[in-house]
Amino acid sequence: MIDEKSTAESLGSTRTYGQVRCMNPSCTSRITPQPGQTMAKCPKCGSEWRIFWVKAGLPRVRGPVWETSLKMANAKWDTLTDKKEEK
């Protein structure tokens, strides 16, 4: 064998601690929340996520910040309905 690492060991080397992925299906960029921060905003798409900390240095996404998601959805809906009315 050329590589003596197990599958778990090789996957562990690609693990990113202290970061979460944006859960927006069209984005999936990485977000680095500050330690202890309970909300984090994606710099790429603007989605905002509730964060919880499994342990120090290991954040996870709890879910969306609903107010931000609703505001973004309404803005998108307004641009779509404006385009339909113009035609």
CA nearest to 45, candidates 76, 18, 19: 76
Quickly state the pLDDT bin for 4 (edges 50, 70, 90).
confident
Cα–Cα distance, 1 to 71 (Å, whole number): 54
pLDDT of residue 84: 65
CA distances for 36 relative to 51, 54, 58, 81, angstroms:
9, 11, 10, 40
In the chain, domain spans: 16-86
pLDDT tens-digit readout, 6-57: 888 887 777 788 999 999 999 989 999 999 999 999 999 999 999 999 999 8
The pTM score is 0.72
Per-residue pLDDT tens over the stretch 55-78? 998 999 999 999 998 999 999 999
Closest CA to 54 of 36, 41, 31: 36
